[in-house]
Amino acid sequence: MKFLHTCVRVKDLDASLKFYQDALGFKEARRRDFPEHKFTIVYLTLDDDPDYELELTYNYDHEAYDLGNGYGHIAVGVDDLEGSHKAHQDAGYTVTDLSGLPGRPKMYYFITDPDGYKIEIIDLKKFNA
């Protein structure tokens, strides 16, 4: 088996694409439009992990999604946690303070996308330590 993608349903495809591209460095890999069925799917990848995709599904004219309490987060690793955190703050994104697991050094923070989904940004140097 192989892990292929994670699907996130989005209210505003343009705003979501801008967020995932500008804030997290994703690139659009492919797009599938189904106007007769009123939805578009956009697959995004990261340069360092081109085999795994984030799927943004846009259903035309859909109201905002209820995130519920079952969704946790998507995680993305970075080489410079503090630099990434500062850049996201400076860009005006909603981010948490740097944090760590109990008894562990600060190694992550969360950023919120336009639909309210949380993305965990993890320091790659500390992730497997």
Active site residues: 120
Alpha helix positions (H), 60-105: 81-90
CA atoms within 13 Å, Cβ hemisphere of 76: 27
Q: Tokens for 21?
A: 């591209």
φ, ψ for residue 35 (rounded to 5)?
Answer: -60, -35
